[in-house]
Amino acid sequence: MVERVAYDEFSYFHENASEFGLPYDGPPTVRRESVPLGDGRSLSALVWGTAPPELVLVHGGAQNAHTWDTVAMALGRPLVAVDLPGHGHSDGPKEGRSTDPMSNAEDVAVAVERLAPDAAAVVGMSLGGMTSIALAGTRPELVRKLVLVDVTPGVTGKKAEAIIAFVNGPESFPSFAEILERTVQFNPTRSESSLRRGILHNAVQRDDGSWVWRHARHRAMQAEGESRPRDYGSLWDMVESYPGPLMLLRGMRQGSVVDDADEAELRTRRPDARIEHVVEAGHSIQGDDPLELARLVEEFVFGS
């Protein structure tokens, strides 16, 4: 008999609050929305609060909207956290490639128009940051301010090799214990409880008891798309021409994919950009130091 692991995506907020010392008087108001994309696919998102969303949060590759839970709780503002195509609860990408920022931006634009057309800023981490740059370059009216979380168009496979090694691991795992063991191995600075919570949000248990990452469900169809050459040069041009205020948050611990050359390139192209070093974080600033990320976003976007 297969042992099933119970999962309710809205039942873990007390753990987020406890881990980071946030006040907690009950679950926040969060709902899941599905936005039709007009071609039979839909994009899923978490909508926090009941007022018009003030922020749009876009997660990184192989993650999902719940990566922002602690940040959202710390901010305490109405916002939308999207699941990128091929991630979380969203349908697969349009052309079999969920790592294409331009294609992702087309889909995210539909969700932002529907759920958060008046948001004060878009916050994008890693692949979500690249997608947010593409969104700002093609639909600047939807991106009034732009926050990049540990990413620039200078990202390379070498800089992200540790992340790629983790993502390109086994497609499935025989048990929860094995998927947890691998996750702990690649995330030594994170608590086991937070990693367990992250797995429950980011993986699904099959009928035979095995586990598969939600993003890995589309791995076979993405392989063909990944064979196409990538050129992020046009995204640098979009950064330069983007008319709104821009901030880069750079993790300073091991694992960050942003180096001094990237920072220098950003300063050259956008002398007005605000750049903040988050000393106690690596690449996933929202997981390593979510309270500092929330503080910096609050200050940059809302001036407080």
150 is catalytic: yes
In sequence order, which ranges of the chain are alpha helices (DSSP H)? 13-20, 69-75, 101-115, 127-138, 161-167, 176-186, 192-202, 219-226, 233-241, 260-269, 285-288, 290-302
Phi/psi for 212 (5° steps) reads -135, 135
215 is catalytic: no
150, 262, 288, 289: the active-site residue: 150
Amino acid at 102: M
Q: Would you say 65 and 280 are in contact if contact means Cβ atoms under 8 Å apart? A: no
Phi/psi for 60 (5° steps) reads -90, 175
69, 256, 283, 284: the active-site residue: 283
Q: Would you say 56 and 118 are in contact if contact means Cβ atoms under 8 Å apart? A: no
CA distance linking residue 3 with residue 10, whole number of Å: 22
CA distance linking residue 153 with residue 137, whole number of Å: 13
44, 90, 103, 126: the active-site residue: 126
87 is catalytic: no
30-50: b or e for each residue (b if 16 or more CB lie within 10 Å)? beeeebebeeebbbbbbbbbe
Distances (CA, A) of 138 to 42, 192, 234: 20, 40, 11
Catalytic residues: 126, 150, 283
